[in-house]
Structure 1
Amino acid sequence: MTATVEAAPVAAVPVTRGYRFELVKLVSQWRIRLLVLACWLAPAVFVAAVSQQSDLPTDTLFGRWMNITGWAGPLVMLGFAGVYALPLLTSVVAGDVFAAEDRLGTWRHLLVAVRSHRRIFVSKALASLTVILVLVAGMAVSSAVGGVLAVGGQPLVGLDGHVIAPADAAGLVLLAWICVLAPTLALAGIGLLGSVALGRSPMGLLLPAVVALAMGVAQMLPLPVAVRLALPSYGFIAWEGLFTSPAQAGPLVIGIVVSLLWAVLATTLAYLLFVRRDFTNLSTDGTSRRALTLGALPLAGLLVVTIGFVAVATPSTGSGIDQDKVQQSVATAFAHLYRLQTRQLHRPDVTEEQLATTVACTKGDGLVEPEGPGNDWRCVATWHLPGTTAAGQAIYQLDVASDGQYVADGDGPKEVNGYFQVRTPDGDQPNPLWQFDGHIELLSKG
């Protein structure tokens, strides 16, 4: 008579062990190590080098202030990262975390070792998220350190001309980098979805970058406000509203919420596709039409729902840019910057109330409706000084972008805004009224 012994079931590997294993696998890859090294060193070198140059990237937000304050450098880097670096980083990390197993043919070994589809997914998602956070933190810290060491922690001029104290500027820079984590997570979720749904196909690796590129192009188009804010890519530029007084919090909050919704939905879809995948068939790597349909349609539905919700909940229609908003924004920025120029010239200080600045703007020489983006805005600023009866006037040519950011280019008189430097008792200094950046809140009422 023979006795049979039942084998005890093998317990699944805990998530913590799986997470450490996946994290070690990621960090052991030479390209990940190279990215970590680049993100922690290259921004500091770039910001420090550019801050010492006389030819600054004035076509970039805060670029004109890079040789005046070190807090401008991390904001220039943030603008670059939102367009180029962060989509590529999420593609390399999250877009390849599942597809690498398909290319190497190691799914059976991993499933035998872990014995849980759910824990494999959680471990890989957490490992990729950790690496992405390390990369983003590296760019933020490195660019801030490079700017402050090269130039110093002087006050920063905001997007409405008001001067931000160094401590406040440091806090706002940190908050701006934290805010872009939301759209970065959205791209990471799309990367996980592409890695699961497309398997060993190279499109899984490229999906976050392609989606970011498409949404970036859409942000440059004259889209309605509701459509613009419903795209998670708006989160990469919504931080600009932090640098006005008061802060333009409405678009920022919407951008963060929309991005987090995309991150949650995309990650959930990736999880559902992963746990339902048939790993017994070696010829199937997740590229079925059903996987693509289940991945793309829910995200398209979320976009439609979000557009409808934003359209109903917000007061703005159309582009969100009109004559009243442009005039109000330019008047506020001019008044603040005029006071800054007054201090440079060691003249008696005046207040915004004493200046009583007003601005009159037209678009297309008055031949078109004064609304919407374009580089054909012309504004005339008028102000008064105490003890004088004559009013001062200055002319600006404006290039207003679709997202509400604009560049005001001074067009005279020379003594006020017609030259890039002003002669002060301390020597020639950059003229704050010559060119300045501004930002129009798309949701505010003109």
Structure 2
Amino acid sequence: MTATVTADKVVSARRAPVSRGYRFELVKLVSQWRIRLLVLACWTAPALFVAGVSRQSTLPSDTLFGRWMHATGWAGPLVMLGFAGTWALPLLTSVVAGDVFAVEDRLGTWRHLLVAVRSPRRIFVAKALASLTVILLLVAGLAVSSAVGGLVSVGNQPLVGLDGHLLAPGDAALRVLLAWVAALAPTLALAAIGLLGSVALGRSPMGLLLPPLVALAMSVAQMLPLPVAVRLALPGYAFIAWNGLFTSPAQLGPLLIGVAVGLAWAVLATVLAYLLFLRRDFTNLAYDGSGRRALTVGALPLAGLTALTVGVVAVATPSMGSGIEQDKVQRSVATAFAHLYRMQTQELHRPAVTEAQLRASAACTKSDGQSAQEGAGNDWRCVVTWHLPGVPVPGTAIYQLDITSDGRFVADGDGPKEVNGYFLLRTSTGDAPNPLWQFDGNVELLTPH
């Protein structure tokens, strides 16, 4: 009798493609009530906020471009960007990316997910891409909603730049768009830090808090008297470096460095999260983070990247000081004053004058000359001098300056009253805002003396 042996066919289960895993993870994220609320808020709340503030008699003049929210709809998205970079975006990345892996630990669903996908690598890629998609949707909502709110409530008017020159509506729209695009680099860095914390810390709530804590630490560091090279090496610098887009010519050096650093942090933190994820033990139901490995594989490489960036920036640029020097302050104040004086001349219906005819100059001192004439502070005082055609005596005006460590300053007029001592101008058509009463400016930190 002949026995026939039939070999069993070994059927290997196929791994789920990344596209299917991506759609699955995206549906999981969007189905969460808190994500839906965030999407709704990001696409509606900024428009309501900008429209409401633009109709108020009191404007947030302490916020960059806040004093121009009555004049143009393009100031609203920039005010929103300043708020988003400090508060909203760190919190949004925390809720989305900081919980995308930890939620599986809390629910104990890793084994089910591995059986369905059969590839930890594809799980990581799908979760990372789904988080990125939701974050981009939220950022787009903040930008579009705030722009729509400003344009509907105020209109498509020119925007006053940080050196006092007028930006045409089309130019202003392009620069606003570029500012929001530049802010994506530090946003991606915070999202990658959220992924790293979610992978490394497991169920611990610290993974969820890591992006806002890092953002808070970077904000505090920007307030300290640190060298420019250290500031530029922080991944959140692009949240404030977009200011340079609103000068002529644009101050692109700090912005490009800030974007590059933010993207480098995003790539490195994502790679570290990927390596930690592949090395974890999915069979241990009591797994609660990588412990010491989170420090050695996570924090130390990022600290090394910061040190490397500081060294590269210090060698490539003159950036070991504060970057705020007397000559730069005087040049920035004089340039902004000349542009805004022409605007005031138009409002008062006086004969037109050019910057070349004005020959505006500024003499600025810090602490009445009793200390080093450089660095941030609210003790700068400037005397601006200008000339008018046919007038033998030059005009003078006094300003008190408050300069922050990132180079932004607010010039507060201190007389004479008919030039900058009052916030309204009496014109033939009624009262109008005085552009020389208070104005914002920017000192480029990386330029030489």
User: TM-score, structure 1 length as denominator?
Assistant: 0.99
Deviation at 1:290, TM superposition (A): 1.4
Indicate whether 1:71 and 2:74 are aligned: yes
The answer on 1:352 being equivalent to 2:324 is: no
Hey, what's the Cα distance between the residues in 2 that align with 1:421 and 1:209? 41
3-state DSSP of counterpart to 1:283: coil
Deviation at residue 317 of structure 1 after TM alignment: 2.8
| Aligned partner of residue 237 in structure 1, secondary structure | helix
Contact 2:16–2:116 at 8 Å: present in 1 too? yes
- Equivalent residue for 2:400, pick from 397, 402, 405: 397
311-320 or 240-249: bigger deviation: 311-320
Alignment of 1:37-116 (within 5 A): 37-116=40-119
Structure 1: which 4+ aligned runs deviate by more than 6 Å?
none
Q: Measure, in 1, the Cα distance between the counterparts of 2:443 and 2:324.
A: 7
> Which residue of the partner structure matches residue 202 of structure 1?
205
Residues 338-374 of structure 1: CA distance to partner in whole angstroms, max 9, x if unpaired?
0000000011111101000010000011111110000
Q: Aligned match of 1:305 in 296, 308, 316? A: 308
Report the counterpart of residue 320 of structure 1 in structure 2.
Answer: 323
Q: Is the 8 A contact 1:158 1:164 kept in 2?
A: yes
Q: Return the match for 2:295 from 292, 297, 305.
A: 292
- Give the letter aligned to residue 28 of structure 1: S
Query: 1:283 & 1:7 partners in 2: Cα distance?
Result: 33
1:148 to 140, 151, 159: 151
**Structure 1 residue 67: Cα displacement:** 0.9
Q: Work out whether residues 313 and 319 of structure 2, in 8 Å CA contact, stay in contact via their aligned partners in 1.
A: no
Query: Does the 8 A contact of 2:16 with 2:117 survive in 1?
Result: yes
TM-aligned CA deviation for residue 96 of structure 1: 0.3
**8 Å contact kept, 2:196–2:270:** yes
Q: Which amino acid aligns with 1:218?
A: A
Q: d(CA) in 1 for partners of 2:319 and 2:13?
A: 59
The amino acid across from 1:305 in the alignment is L
- Inter-partner Cα distance in structure 1 for 2:278 and 2:290: 15
Tell me if structure 2 keeps the 8 A contact 1:197–1:292: no
Residue 4 of structure 1 deviates from its aligned partner by: 4.1
TM-superposition CA deviations, 1:325-347 (whole Å, max 9, x none): 00000000000000000000011
Structure 1: segments with no counterpart, 5+ residues: none
3-state SS of paired residue (2:391): coil
3-state secondary structure, aligned to 1:443: coil
Alpha-carbon contact 1:316-1:445 (below 8 Å) kept: no
1:410 is aligned to 2:407: no
- Equivalent of 1:158 in 157, 161, 168: 161
> Aligned Cα RMSD in Å?
0.8
In structure 1, what residue type is equivalent to 2:257?
A: I
How far is 1:303 from its partner? Answer: 0.4
**C-alpha distance in structure 1 between counterparts of 2:197 and 2:419, whole Å:** 54
Match of 1:268? Answer: 271
Counterpart code for 2:312? F
Cα separation, 2, equivalents of 1:224 and 1:169: 31
After alignment, is 276-285 or 61-70 more displaced? 276-285
Shift of residue 293, structure 1, vs aligned partner: 1.8
Report the secondary structure of 1:128's partner residue: helix
Contact 1:416–1:434 (8 Å) recurs in 2: yes
Deviations 1:237-278 (A, max 9, x none): 010000000000000100000000000000000000001111
In 1, the alpha carbon distance for the partners of 2:288 and 2:19 equals 27
Contact 1:355 1:384 in 2 (8 A): yes
Give how far 1:425 is off.
1.3
* Structure 2 residue ranges without an equivalent (≥5): none
Q: Is the 8 A contact 1:384 1:390 kept in 2?
A: yes
Separation of aligned partners in 2, 1:282 and 1:101: 11
Distance 2:149 2:364 in 1: 39
Tell me how far 1:236 sits from its aligned partner.
Answer: 0.3
Deviation per residue, 1:120-146 (Å, 9 max, x gap): 000000000000000000000000000
Q: Does 1:119 align with 2:122?
A: yes
Distance in structure 2 (CA, Å) of the matches to 1:310 and 1:428: 49
- Aligned equivalents of 2:295 and 2:107: distance in 1? 22
Cα distance in 2, alignment partners of residues 430 and 57 from structure 1? 15
Quote the residue 1:254 is aligned against: 257
Moved more, 3-12 or 87-96: 3-12
How much has 1:286 moved relative to structure 2?
A: 2.4
Paired residue secondary structure (1:232): coil
Counterpart residue identity of residue 209, structure 2? L
- SS of equivalent to 2:418: coil
Q: How many residues were matched structurally? A: 446
- What is the match of residue 21 of structure 2? 18
Distance 2:91 2:7 in 1: 56
From 10, 27, 37, the equivalent of 1:34 is 37
How far apart, CA to CA, are the structure 1 residues paired with 2:352 and 2:77? Answer: 31
Match of 1:385 in 2: 388
